[in-house]
Amino acid sequence: MIRTVLVANRGEIAIRIFHTLREMGIRTVAVYTEPDAHSLHVRSADAAHPVESYLDAKGIIAAAKATEADAIHPGYGFLSENPVLSSGCEASKIRFIGPRTDTIRRMGNKLESKRLMREAGVPVVPTWDGEPPESEFPVLVKAVGGGGGKGMRLVESPKDLADAMAAASREAGKAFGNDRVFAEKYIQSPRHVEFQIFGDTHGNFTHIFERECSIQRRHQKIIEETPSAAVTPELRTRMGNAAVAAARAVGYVNAGTVEFIVAPDGQFYFLEMNTRLQVEHPVTEMTTGLDLVREQVRVADGHPLSFRQDDLRQNGHALECRIYAEVPEEDFRPDIGRIAVFVPPKGPGIRLDSGVQPGSEISVHYDPMLAKLVVWASTRDAAIERMQRALSDFVLLGIRHNVEFLRRVIASDDFRAGEIDTHFLEKHSELLKQPSDDIPVAALLAASLTPSKTASVWSTSAASAGFQDVWASGPWRNS
Ligand code: ADP
């Protein structure tokens, strides 16, 4: 029986996993690197152990042994999709809360996973190991071992292919230690629609419906929702069946995600399988009432899934916005600094998964995602209204962030109409500009209360550090 779980991760996802573990009566262990010694996730666990790096599988397994953890949850990112951690766990008799090592290995290869899915009868986007026929251009060049949108290149014409492949190969070699690249049919104006899947060690496979993640910047998701406005009940059945066939084809155990892109004509294609808990899993939880982490732990402990396909229903609508320390108005450059004020929105139907608090230092070392704001309401329109309200109530000072930008996206006519695809932000460049009359009250307050000489009210660290003192003692702090 699993009694102690080490979470091999940091930030919001470590804290989110600890929440469920504590509800299950399981002892929690955090690991931390030197820059994270004072992070919130370290203080949220029953025990904490230092590691050199979140990418050091040996160090993490040693930490699990030192703290008598009998299982490791990898979260997402870092080692979650690296077979080195899962196989190291097997060798050390520590449960890995995720799929089997061979599944991780096979699905970590974009060509191998597509080959397997094609064999299983899942529609797959056409790929070429060598040069695609001229009629198939434009194509995307991708790294076989790629991830995080890195190493992808759009190639419009055959004459540019060789150069693009060489450049992508160099980049992939550096980033992923595997320089193999391939070409893939480029689907015009697609939507990104993925299915949550779950398998157990008793041969049960289910899907837990879709998530639409078409609002992206640099091929990375920033807003996710479920249900998808593009998925009819009939398409949901077909895509859900394909997702379950994908799970069955690899004997999938634990939580995973089958990513598809959907062309404007409704044809869908398998893109890849993510062998871990997804950043955007809360929207699935909000609409189904499931706790996916609890289910992960139970499955890792050898229990059958607590639900069958027919037990599952989608209830209402959920939206997630990823709150980043970044400047959308300046090509989404990440920002660093100290969070001075952090007052998240409250109210019915709101969930905040966050790894920061006032005083948290946002550094260059890690991903600049600060929190995930998730709302639920009975309909898509109501969820949009709630998200707009929640974003305008969010007070976050000391660092530049994307909250206002997200609000502009959510409020835009095309988003409200569900007219979205993965090029949404390129098509709506007006949303990338800061309207002059759109400066939130909190930022104005900050500017008026600080003696800072900076011209911008946009929370330079100095300006809002001054503001923090005033804020903390002011009568408005509970507003
Ligand atoms: P990564 O593993 O690096 O995240 P993915 O293959 O999952 O890469 O693709 C990330 C995003 O890139 C997708 O959500 C989609 O927006 C875009 N994309 C990927 N493949 C294609 C394609 N064949 N045609 C059009 N867009 C694509």
Sequence ranges of the domains in the chain: 4-97, 126-185, 191-432
pLDDT computed for residue 443 by the predictor? 60
**Could you tell me the pLDDT band of residue 150, with boundaries at 50, 70 and 90?**
confident
pLDDT computed for residue 461 by the predictor? 38
Span 191-432: which CATH code? 3.30.470.20
Query: Is the per-residue pLDDT at 454 higher than 50?
Result: no
The pick from 422, 423, 426 for probing ligand 1's pocket by mutation, whose C-beta has the most ligand atoms within 8 angstroms, reads: 422
Which of these, 116, 113, 73, lies nearest to 274 by C-alpha position?
113
- CB-based pocket (< 6 A), ligand 1: 125, 140, 146-150, 184-187, 190, 192, 216, 219, 259, 261, 271-272, 422
Give the pair of three-digit tokens for residue 165. Answer: 């492949």
Please tell me the residue having the least CA distance from ligand 1 atom 8: 149
For the residues 244-260, what does the mean pLDDT come to? 98
Our measurement of the distance from residue 360's CA atom to the centroid of its chain's CA atoms, rounded to an integer in Å, reads 21
This prediction has a pTM of 0.91
The pick from 195, 268, 271 for probing ligand 1's pocket by mutation, whose C-beta has the most ligand atoms within 8 angstroms, reads: 271
pLDDT single digits (tens) 64-94: 999 999 999 999 999 999 999 999 999 999 9
Please tell me the residue having the least CA distance from ligand 1 atom 11: 219
* Rounded Cα gap, residues 307 and 317, in angstroms: 21
Nearest atom in ligand 1 to the alpha carbon of residue 187 is 24
Give the pair of three-digit tokens for residue 153. Answer: 């290149």
Question: Letter for the amino acid at 358?
Answer: P
Span 4-97: which CATH code? 3.40.50.20
Please tell me the residue having the least CA distance from ligand 1 atom 9: 149
Residues of 314-334 as b/e, b for ≥16 C-beta within 10 angstroms?
Answer: eebbbbbbbbbbbbbbeebee
Contacts 24+ apart (CB under 8 A), 238-243: 238/268, 239/193, 239/195, 239/210, 239/268, 240/195, 240/207, 240/209, 240/210, 242/121, 242/122, 242/123, 242/195, 242/268, 242/270, 243/195, 243/197, 243/207
pLDDT computed for residue 457 by the predictor? 39
For the residues 274-296, what does the mean pLDDT come to? 98
Q: Where are the alpha helices (DSSP H) in 218-320?
A: 233-249, 281-288, 292-300
Q: What is the DSSP letter of 382?
A: H
123 exposed, middle or buried (CB, 10 Å; 0-12, 13-18, 19+)?
A: middle
271 Cα: distance to centroid of ligand 1 (angstroms): 7
219 Cα: distance to centroid of ligand 1 (angstroms): 6
Query: Is the per-residue pLDDT at 108 higher than 90?
Result: yes
Please tell me the residue having the least CA distance from ligand 1 atom 14: 192
* Rounded Cα gap, residues 304 and 201, in angstroms: 7
Q: State which CATH number among 3.30.1330.60, 3.40.50.150, 3.30.1490.20, 3.40.50.300 fits the domain covering 126-185.
A: 3.30.1490.20
188 exposed, middle or buried (CB, 10 Å; 0-12, 13-18, 19+)?
A: exposed
For the residues 300-325, what does the mean pLDDT come to? 98
Quick count: other Cβ atoms within 10 Å of Cβ 387?
28
280 Cα: distance to centroid of ligand 1 (angstroms): 16
Nearest atom in ligand 1 to the alpha carbon of residue 149 is 3
For the residues 158-164, what does the mean pLDDT come to? 95
Residues 6+ apart with CB under 8 A from 363: 35, 336
Nearest atom in ligand 1 to the alpha carbon of residue 216 is 16
User: Cα–Cα distances in Å, from 125 out to 267, 287, 442?
Assistant: 10, 29, 47
338 Cα: distance to centroid of ligand 1 (angstroms): 33
- The dihedral region occupied by 313, where left means phi > 0, alpha psi between -120 and 50, and beta the remainder, is beta
Which of these, 70, 183, 168, lies nearest to 131 by C-alpha position?
183
Question: Letter for the amino acid at 303?
Answer: H
Our measurement of the distance from residue 198's CA atom to the centroid of its chain's CA atoms, rounded to an integer in Å, reads 18
Give the pair of three-digit tokens for residue 100. Answer: 């089997």
Query: Is the per-residue pLDDT at 452 higher than 60?
Result: no
Residues of 83-94 as b/e, b for ≥16 C-beta within 10 angstroms?
Answer: bbbbbbbeeeeb
324 Cα: distance to centroid of ligand 1 (angstroms): 21
Averaged pLDDT of the chain: 92
pLDDT computed for residue 437 by the predictor? 59
Nearest atom in ligand 1 to the alpha carbon of residue 213 is 14
